[in-house]
Amino acid sequence: MSETVRVAASAVVVRAVRASGPGGQNVNKVATKVELRVDLAAIEGLGGDARQRLRALAAHRLDGDGRLVVTSQLTRTQSLNLEDARAKVRELIEVALVRPAVRRATRPSRSSREARLSGKKQRGAVKRLRDRPGEWA
């Protein structure tokens, strides 16, 4: 993450569950899928705007208590899935830390407007040439 943003260990709840997908008979015995729940309110060093952006980014991943739920079943090992889930949380926080650029309304220049209109006139002239002679006198 960032040097200023920290997710406290007390804010993270890790749960291992049985994964779907590849693994053969092993998938029925071993809980390799990792479910990571992070309390967004307990993330340290996150500003108000960044916290709102994070909440908006993770809106579909929030549980009933407002905690971020991230799952990973990418690999067949629990430890690698835990690393992957933590990386997903890290990426979300990094994206939330980036302040979006402010859009400033601009107007097209005079030459670009004239170029657009002359292009439209040329296109109309080409279409006019497709008519039968004498119809547009």
- CATH number for the domain including 24? 3.30.160.20
Nearest to 2 by CA among 58, 37, 39, 54: 54
Number of domains in the chain: 1
Domain of residue 23: give its range: 6-97
How confident is the model over 69-117, as pLDDT tens digits?
988 888 888 889 999 998 998 899 888 888 989 999 999 999 999 999 9
**Start-to-end CA span in the chain (Å):** 71
Kindly state whether residue 13 falls inside one of the protein's structural domains: yes
Is pLDDT of 137 > 60?
A: no
pLDDT > 90 in the chain, percent:
23
Residue predicted with more confidence, 3 or 40: 40
Concatenating the DSSP letter of every residue in 56-106 gives: HHTGGGB-TTSEEEEEE-SSSSHHHHHHHHHHHHHHHHHHHHSPPPPP---
Kindly state whether residue 124 falls inside one of the protein's structural domains: no
Kindly state whether residue 126 falls inside one of the protein's structural domains: no
Kindly state whether residue 64 falls inside one of the protein's structural domains: yes
Kindly state whether residue 51 falls inside one of the protein's structural domains: yes
Kindly state whether residue 119 falls inside one of the protein's structural domains: no
Q: What is the mean pLDDT of residues 111-134?
A: 92
Kindly state whether residue 104 falls inside one of the protein's structural domains: no
Kindly state whether residue 71 falls inside one of the protein's structural domains: yes
